[in-house]
Structure 1
Amino acid sequence: MYLVLELWLIFWIRMDNSERKDILKLNGITVTKPRMRFLKILEDLSGPISVQQIFKNYNDQFALSTLYRVVNDLAAVNIIDTFTSPDQSIWVEIKSSSGHHHHLYCESCKTVMDIEMDEVLEESIHQLRTELNKRYGIEITDHSFELYGRCVGEKHKI
């Protein structure tokens, strides 16, 4: 139903606003100021941010209900990725053009970091998926891998 182009991910940051609007329209998303503002905020970040943080930092630009609608709409057409932290916060980021990645959530300072896994770890996950496919008779089509912990000292060691 939706036209989602993998190539646009690579060029999203380099696109001008009219090109970004075209991508939204191609995916059946109405172009609105809140959606464009929301995407601009995500583009300017280097990693995930919670919806609550966006609301706190930009509450003069968004109603909370609008933010959640924007998140649902953009996630439905794979323009953004979302995940829920243990404290039930919803975290969002522009879908990565660098491919699949995972997250590390710090329970102490409530931050999320993107983590890249090397080929050995990704192969281990692939083997686990294969084993689960055999054992339970379910073809696993995707996975999400979030790690939870607490930072030590003042800086994260990642």
Structure 2
Amino acid sequence: MTTLNELRKEYRRLAFIYHPDKGGDTVLMQILNDRYERLSEKFIKENVDFSEGRKEYEMQVSEEIRDMLDRIMFLKGVDIEVIGGWIWITGNTFAIRTTLKSLGFLFSHPKTAWYWHKGEYRKKSGKIQSMDEMRDFWGSQKMETQPETSNQLN
């Protein structure tokens, strides 16, 4: 891995394998979390293109995304996608809308998707980007989820 985005993508992939609620091992998940934190900190601190404010923001986002994904990765019948520092949920979300609201997700009517982003966001332009435009600009990682049978959080 050579970039922060590649690290985040690989962490999400491995979390689905090693998370205890997915049949993985608690100790291995703790090791994965520890290594992810150390490597993300290294990538962020060594990035000469990041200002100090951006470095602080990226550190917070890395941790917050990991924590939120741990909370939602077991929702069934929905698609979870991380685009940049945002989490988007699409699919059959009607049954879990109360859960998503309680976790701080908001609904985007133009995109017919729920989204979560830590911290305040101020849009710099009035242009509304499509999901494909956001994917092209920020990169995207879809989470593998299970088919819908029930949507209970553990």
| Fold shared by both chains (TM-score > 0.5) | no
* More helix per residue: 2
Name the TM-score, length of structure 1 as normaliser: 0.29
Of structures 1 and 2, the one scoring higher in RCO (CA 8 A, sep 6+) is: 2
**Which structure has the larger Rg?**
1
